[in-house]
Every structure is written in structure tokens, then in C-alpha cells.
Amino acid sequence: MQKTVTIIGAGLGGLVLARVLRTHGIAATIHEGEASATSRGQGGLLDIHAETGQAALRAAGLHDEFLALGRPGEDAKRVVDRHGALLLDKPADPGSTRPEVDRGELRRLLIDSLAPGTIRWGHKLTSIRQHPAGGFDLTTAAGSPFHADLVVGADGAWSTVRPLLTSAEPRYSGTCFVEIALTPGGRTHQEVVAAIGSGTLMAVAPGKGIIAHRYADGRVRGYVALNRSEEWVGSIVFDDPSAGLHRLSREFDGWSPLLTAFVTESDAAPVLRPIHALPVGLRWDRLPGVTLVGDAAHLMSPFAGEGANLAMYDGADLAAELAAHSDVEAALSTYEERLFTRSREVAERSAHNLEVFFGEEAPQSVVALFN
């Protein structure tokens, strides 16, 4: 394929796409808005599924290196009610086919697998328009305008590339997260951390929850979840972290102090993260020379555990089609038809599971889900 390939976004999907293209002898350039690979935290753990994420890493020739990143023992799960009563206690599975890995470590593995200069850091896309003779003219915040024959939007929830294909925008799900954390040696209580077990603790009730994960090094990261209106979300400002955490703790009046301590003792400045999703079953008409992967194509809540897995699978699938076809449009059409089918099923499951976690039947609905 003798075309210039530009990928917008250095998330997992865009990185896998570039890596698999490279294994087929096809060069690509990634334009990323972040200043560097370490300019911000990359989130917590991911469980990488054999049929999607691991399949993508095999295609990238990185499966063995991925396995070395695994964190055995951290897939244990506990579900408790608002009083801390234990409802489900699933120990870690030593033979799990879905290894847990740190997202940042996985991203670093993919970045290091690319040729130097593949990623152009600090190049946030500011404009893109179709060229009359074919391809696209693009401008980034840090570079001169340039042309690309093929553009792949791997730029996440608020994609700048997506509007070329569809007017659909992410919608607020009605649930928001607020990040919490406890660090080793901080103002933590052994009893509080021990309540988590060796993996993840889920304390849920209708409309709210406290979810915390215990890392092998003693760190605890998680979030408060609340079902609140878009107006409520828009009114929240955490200028004073201590006051913000105190305000959050009042949402859990009557809960066990062992659970509310995750909020009141949090070492993290509270960061509000409303959960958005694109419409389930989103499709678009074929536009020559452009497509999407990952959240740019099928943003959903994290409650199917498939977002990162699908993003990587999208990247590998698209790369394989581009390598197999001399006709780029045939490759994109084949890729998108499979993309639409697989993402619809997972998006439906994700939306359902969000209701399971914080709907009227919680926490028993969560116990039933894991059983």
C-alpha cells in the first residue's frame, strides 16, 4: 500500500495500528496532543481478553512481552453492601486467561515497539478537511499544515476526526466518577486497606458506589460513583480538595465508616469524570480515506471491560486489512462492517452492566452478574 497513513492519537488503539502496520512493512505517523509519553497518568489496571486484546498483541508480535507485564493475584473481587456486609468474595484465579496489566506499562511497551520518530508528541490536531483531489489537509497546534492520503481517528471520546463521518456525539450516561486513592505510608488505616482483599472491592447501592483496587505495592486507587443529573455535574467544582472530599463523603451518610474512609482519607485531589457513551449501534457512511478506531468509534462505559481490548483489536484488524488489500477503500469497508457488528454487541452489554451496578437492584444485581 503506497499511501501516507496518519494516525491521530497515541492511545492503545492507535499504537497497535501503527505497530501492526510496521510488521507488514507499512509506515505510519502518529500525531498526539500530549507533550510526551509521561505527561499524564494512564489510569489503572486492564484485564486483557484472549479473543480481542491478546489477539491484537499477538498480531503485533508482542504477546510474550505482554505476558511479562501481568499482575497475578490482582483479579480478586469482593462485593459488599453499604454496611460492609460481605456478599461475594471471589479469590484470584491463578489460571486466568485475562491477565491484569497496568495500562501505562502496556502503553509503554507499544510505544517502545515503534520506530523512533513515529510519534509526534505535542501535535494536537486543530483542523482537518477533505482535499478536492483526494486525501486530507491537516493542521496541528505545533506543526505546519500537511497532507495525508489515509487518516485514522484514534483520538478518543472527543475525537476531532469523527465529525467527518458522523454528527453523533457522546452523551452523558447519568453516572459520574470521582477519583480516590490511598498511598503507602499516607493517612491510611490497615483495617481499611485490608477490607479490599487482594484485588477489587465494590461497595454498591442504588445510585451510588465506592470501588477501590489494591495494588501489590500497597497503593489503592478507585473512584466514587454517583448517579446524578448533568446539571449537578456541571455545578461541581473541587477548588478545595479537602472540602470536596468531605462533600462527597456526605453522599454516603449511613454507610460503614470502613467504606467512607476511602473517601475521607483519600490522598488524591478529587477529579470529576462524567461517564459518556456514543449511541449504541453507531454506524456511518463510507467516506474515502478516513476511518476510526477505539473510543472515537464506539465510546462506552467501562462496565463491559472491553474498551481497551476493542481499541487494540480495532487497530490490529484495520492494519491487517490494509496490508491485505491494494484497494484501500475495500480494506476500510471490510474493516468497518466488522467494527460495527462487534462494537454494537459490546456497547449493549456495557450499557446494561452500568444499570446492573447502580440500578435499583444493587448490590444483589452485581453479585448475580459475577456469579
Domain for residue 83, yes or no? no
C-alpha 72/C-alpha 93 separation (Å) is 8
pLDDT of residue 192: 81
- Distances from the Cα of 371 to the Cαs of 81, 141, 269, 368, in angstroms? 16, 49, 35, 5
What CATH number did the domain enclosing 256 receive? Answer: 3.30.9.30
Highest mean pLDDT among 44-48, 131-135, 162-166, 265-269: 162-166
Note whether 187 and 116 are same-domain residues.
no
Is the separation of the CB atoms in 22 and 114 below 8 Å? Answer: yes
**pLDDT (tens digit, 9 = 90+) per residue, 51-76?**
999 999 999 999 999 999 988 767 88
Tell me what the mean pLDDT of segment 41-55 comes to. 87
Note whether 290 and 261 are same-domain residues.
no
Does residue 110 sit in helix, strand or coil? helix
pLDDT of residue 43: 67
pLDDT of residue 174: 96
pLDDT of residue 186: 58
Question: In the block, which residue shows the cell 507533550?
Answer: 35
Last residue of a domain, one of 276, 294, 309: 276
- What confidence category does residue 185 fall into, taking pLDDT thresholds of 50, 70 and 90? low
C-alpha 277/C-alpha 279 separation (Å) is 6
Note whether 32 and 149 are same-domain residues.
yes
> In 32-102, where does DSSP find H-type helix?
53-59, 63-67
**In sequence order, what are the residues at sequence separation of 6 or more whose Cβ sits closer than 8 angstroms to the Cβ of residue 182?**
188, 192, 193, 212, 219, 220, 262, 265, 266, 267
Grid coordinates belonging to 318: 484495520
278, amino acid identity = L
Tell me what the mean pLDDT of segment 264-284 comes to. 93
Domain for residue 205, yes or no? yes
Q: What does the radius of gyration of the chain's CA atoms come to, in whole angstroms?
A: 21
Domain for residue 362, yes or no? no
Note whether 106 and 184 are same-domain residues.
no
Grid coordinates belonging to 121: 508528541
Note whether 226 and 245 are same-domain residues.
yes
Whether 188 has a pLDDT exceeding 60, the answer reads no
Note whether 65 and 51 are same-domain residues.
yes
Is the separation of the CB atoms in 295 and 157 below 8 Å? Answer: yes
**pLDDT (tens digit, 9 = 90+) per residue, 222-247?**
999 999 999 988 888 888 888 888 88
pLDDT of residue 189: 64
Note whether 154 and 198 are same-domain residues.
no
Is the separation of the CB atoms in 265 and 176 below 8 Å? Answer: no
What percentage of the chain carries pLDDT values higher than 90? 74
Note whether 183 and 201 are same-domain residues.
yes
CB neighbourhood size of 254 (10 A): 8
Domain for residue 235, yes or no? yes
- What confidence category does residue 339 fall into, taking pLDDT thresholds of 50, 70 and 90? very high
C-alpha 149/C-alpha 367 separation (Å) is 50
Domain that includes residue 288, residue range: 5-71+97-169+278-357
Last residue of a domain, one of 222, 251, 276: 276
pLDDT of residue 275: 96
Note whether 67 and 145 are same-domain residues.
yes
Last residue of a domain, one of 276, 308, 323: 276
What CATH number did the domain enclosing 306 receive? Answer: 3.50.50.60
pLDDT of residue 187: 55
Tell me what the mean pLDDT of segment 182-207 comes to. 82
- Distances from the Cα of 290 to the Cαs of 123, 160, 329, 332, in angstroms? 19, 12, 9, 8
Whether 340 has a pLDDT exceeding 70, the answer reads yes
Grid coordinates belonging to 161: 476526526
Total domains present in the chain: 2
- Picking from 316, 367, 335, the residue whose alpha carbon sits closest to that of residue 18 is 316
Domain for residue 91, yes or no? no
Domain for residue 88, yes or no? no
Domain for residue 81, yes or no? no
Note whether 224 and 346 are same-domain residues.
no
- Identify the bridge partners of residue 350 per DSSP, sorted by sequence position: none
- What confidence category does residue 98 fall into, taking pLDDT thresholds of 50, 70 and 90? confident
pLDDT of residue 184: 73
- Which burial class, exposed, middle or buried, applies to 352 when counting CB atoms under 10 A from its CB (0-12, 13-18, 19+)? middle
Least confident segment among 31-35, 217-221, 222-226, 280-284: 217-221
Note whether 164 and 223 are same-domain residues.
no
Tell me what the mean pLDDT of segment 163-178 comes to. 97
C-alpha 360/C-alpha 347 separation (Å) is 21
Domain for residue 369, yes or no? no
Note whether 14 and 103 are same-domain residues.
yes
- Picking from 275, 319, 306, 298, the residue whose alpha carbon sits closest to that of residue 110 is 319
C-alpha 91/C-alpha 77 separation (Å) is 7
